[in-house]
Homo-oligomer: A and B are copies of this chain.
Amino acid sequence: MESITIKDVARICGVGVSTVSRAINNHPDINPETKEMIMQVIKENHYVPNNSARNLKRSDARAIAILIKGISNPFFNSMIKVFEEEIQKKKYTLVLQHVDEWQDETEVALELEKEKRLRGIVFLGGFASHSEDQLKKIPVPFVLSTVSLLGEEYKNDYSFVSVNDVEESFRMTDYLIRQGHEKIAILCSSENDVSIGALRLAGYKKALESHRIPVEESRIRHMDPEVDTYSIKSGYKLTRELLDEGVDCTAIFALSDSMAIGAVRALIDAGKKVPEDISVAGFDGTEMAAYYNPAITTIRQPAEIMAKETIKLLFDSIKKKTKVQQLIFDGELVPGESVKKRK
């Protein structure tokens, strides 16, 4: 039960602790033979260095943390792989950290930065835009990824990369309208979401207005905050309500692919055909949307590129090459089989 420490290894080898330390850290100033001997003893005795002690002492950890809010979000999956690759490429260590829905990501960041001596942080998802002054306390460079901060006041304070939520939402809505749909319901996140949910809703409204179509409040459906927002279930539930209330619409625009899938299933269960009776569109461009039946017409976010640029931005900050920057990407409308041209 009792663990072996670096001292024990030193004693067994008949050397000083600093020599052992040099061996395990690939320090240059060490005799290859002694090093080999030490490594041998380490293997034999199953010595594992204590990371807490290391982090405590070390000043240079070369570690980047990614804080993920909403681990079940399939959209993040493709990004995480890229993060891993890019960070490894820079010879940095990656710390993947979950943040629960109810947790404050800045608090987690603060703790983790101390614990692991981070060089930089990526916030993936989340950010209800409260906790704005909390961000100021973070002592290392960070980038908000997949997050749009509302309001001009943040414009030059923080780095973030995101898709152009308003424009892409506009694009999809406009597309639906050009396909002959005027009565378009929209499935949103919770009512008090001021982040991407609000932006996408704004794009929807903007598109309707540009076509002089009145915005009908009964077609705007918000999810209760307690239910996992953007999930399949919420898409199903909201569509169910839509049908039960007899809201008149020929198309449903869901603000995530997962919600779109839930919507399609709800329609099928109600005996409707997609897209013959009602068209459905999503947002994100996930793998699931492409493989669904019917394939979901959606907006593809350039996830891999966004992830890559997030890391580039972060390292620019770390190397002090640049000041804060905002990168806003265009998406791409991917036609599937879930939207039909009317008349």
Contacts and interface: CB of A to CB of B under 8 A. Distances in A.
B115 A52 contact: yes
A interface secondary structure, majority: helix
A236 interface: yes
A261 interface: yes
Contacts of A268: 293
A50 B115 contact: yes
A48 B118 CA distance: 15
B291 A293 contact: no
Interface in A110-161: 110-111, 114-116, 137, 139
A274 B232 CA distance: 22
Nearest to A57: B52
Chain A interface residue number, banded: 35 or more
A209 interface: no
A3 interface: yes
Contacts of A77: 71-72
A292 interface: yes
A46 B262 contact: no
A139 B288 contact: no
Contacts of A291: 232, 236, 261-262, 265
A51 B115 contact: yes
A1 B139 contact: yes
A55 interface: yes
A137 B111 CA distance: 30
A30 interface: no
A264 interface: yes
B56 A3 contact: no
* Complex A-B, nearest 8 residue pairs according to Cβ-Cβ distance, in ascending order: A51-B115, A52-B55, A52-B56, A52-B52, A265-B291, A50-B114, A72-B77, A293-B293
